[in-house]
Amino acid sequence: MFVVIVDIEKCRACGECIRVCPNQAFAIADEDGRRYAFFQGDPGDCIGCYSCEASCEDGAIWVLDL
């Protein structure tokens, strides 16, 4: 099972992780004007391709294989 963590302090809501995820597992949250990506799927939705982690130039995503 894979767990996907987004560091919202680092995320600048560029949307790249949304673009690359084959399972549409990310969305952008807007919390009082503060925007960041979050994992919106069920844990089983992540196939562990690591595309999101690789695509995030801000180092805001970790994919963990538990």
Beta bridge partners of 4: 63
Q: Rounded to the nearest whole angstrom, what is the least distance from the CB of residue 34 to ligand SF4 in the complex?
A: 12
Q: What angle do CA 62, 30, 11 make, to 5 degrees?
A: 30
How far apart (Å, rounded) are the C-alpha atoms in residues 53 and 34?
21
Per-residue tokens: 66: 């538990």
Question: Residues 2 to 61: which contact ligand SF4 by CB under 6 A?
Answer: 2, 4, 6, 11-17, 20-23, 25, 37, 46-52, 55-56, 58, 60-61
| Interface contacts to ligand SF4, rule CB under 6 A | 2, 4, 6, 11-17, 20-23, 25, 37, 46-52, 55-56, 58, 60-61, 63
